[in-house]
Amino acid sequence: MINSSYVSYFTFGAYFDIGLFKYLFFLIIMCFYALIVCANLLLIVVICMNRSLHEPMYLFLCSLFVNELFGSTGLFPFLLVQILSDIHIVSAHFCFIQIYCLNAYATIQFHNLSILSYDRYLAICYPLQYNTRMTYNKVTVLVALTWLYPFVGVAVLISLSAPLQLCGNIINKVYCNNYSVVKLACSDTTVNNIYGLICTCLVIFGPLILILYTYVKILKVCFSGSKQTRQKAVSTCTPHLASLLNFSFGGFFEIVQSRFDMSSVPMMLRIILSLYFLTCQPIFNPLIYGLQMSKIRSLCKNLIFGKT
């Protein structure tokens, strides 16, 4: 039996030899990462520099884009190093740091999306009272809770996983994953399982109930409201719904491939499914919000082409 105190590194079992193609994959991933950084940074700068965008919805979007930079930085530089490496190992300390970053990113992302749905609910259902219901103090508190709660919750998760006694050090993924580490444990994982179940309920079902509630109310107002109300709801809710569905599908793929036997599925497809919600969401959101929202789109053009 290998005790976790003697496990100084983990080996990734999902990598396989692709010969010279690894340089092609390296260039593709590097370009993808550069596009994510540039797109999200551009929107963050646009929102911060323009006072006309210092409204609750855009501040929540800024929080969303900052989180996508955070999550991408926790994955892509490490992934690029591993693609070029012939020995796919990582130190135990760095592995738990990556687990912390990626878990916090996923939790913050879902909470950001739930707050955006609440913001749209107030804007559409209570347009005349929106400014009194969504004050800047309330925005500050919501954004702070969106970030602080996941950081604390994931820290507790890591503190439960790190001391486990392990019977191996091979992770069958291309990045570090808490569930994969816990599966290697020889010691009792009851506390980990209970805490994981509680976190799942709080992280998934809490925001999900809020999102469902807000959209039921929005649909009710749309059906009974004017054509102008329906147009406003469609224009502001479409990007959010697209982002929510994209992230939900990606999270579902990751849960299925992590917790069920996928040995019959080709390795390359398993890798793509495990990376989907970590790679597609950070590039999908800047595109969908930048293209759909005319105010952001025009300000981005002005910034890029130097117009005042």
State pLDDT tens for residues 223-247. Answer: 777 777 777 777 778 888 888 888 8
72 close to 33: Cβ distance less than 8 angstroms: yes
Rounded distance between C-alpha atoms, residue 36 and residue 252, angstroms: 22
Query: How far is the CA of 192 from the CAs of 69, 182, 195, 208, in angstroms?
Result: 29, 8, 5, 23
Taking only the tens place, the pLDDT of each residue in 179-230 is: 888 888 888 888 988 888 888 788 888 888 999 999 888 888 887 777 777 7
In sequence order, what are the residues at sequence separation of 6 or more whose Cβ sits closer than 8 angstroms to the Cβ of residue 136?
56
Lowest mean pLDDT among 15-29, 52-66, 221-235: 221-235
243 close to 114: Cβ distance less than 8 angstroms: no
**Is pLDDT larger for residue 268 or for residue 176?**
176
Domains defined for the chain, CATH in brackets: 4-305 (1.20.1070.10)
- Our CA dihedral for 247, 249, 36, 108, rounded to 10 degrees, sits at 30
In sequence order, what are the residues at sequence separation of 6 or more whose Cβ sits closer than 8 angstroms to the Cβ of residue 36?
68, 69, 72, 76, 282, 283, 286
Q: Would you call 10 helix, strand, or coil by DSSP?
A: strand
Sheet hosting strand 9-12, strand order edge to edge: 89-91, 9-12, 170-171
- The pLDDT-based confidence of 3 (bands split at 50, 70, 90) is very low
C-beta neighbour count of 244 within 10 angstroms: 20
Query: How far is the CA of 68 from the CAs of 75, 93, 166, 230, 258, in angstroms?
Result: 11, 23, 32, 30, 22
Question: 205, exposed or middle or buried, with CB in 10 Å at 0-12, 13-18, 19+?
Answer: exposed
Phi/psi of residue 54, nearest 5 degrees = -85, 55
Average pLDDT of the segment spanning 269-292:
82
- The pLDDT-based confidence of 53 (bands split at 50, 70, 90) is confident
pTM of the model: 0.89
Question: 229, exposed or middle or buried, with CB in 10 Å at 0-12, 13-18, 19+?
Answer: middle
88 close to 12: Cβ distance less than 8 angstroms: yes
pLDDT at 141 over 90: yes
Token pair for residue 222? 């749309």
Q: What percent of the chain has pLDDT over 90?
A: 30
Rounded distance between C-alpha atoms, residue 125 and residue 75, angstroms: 39
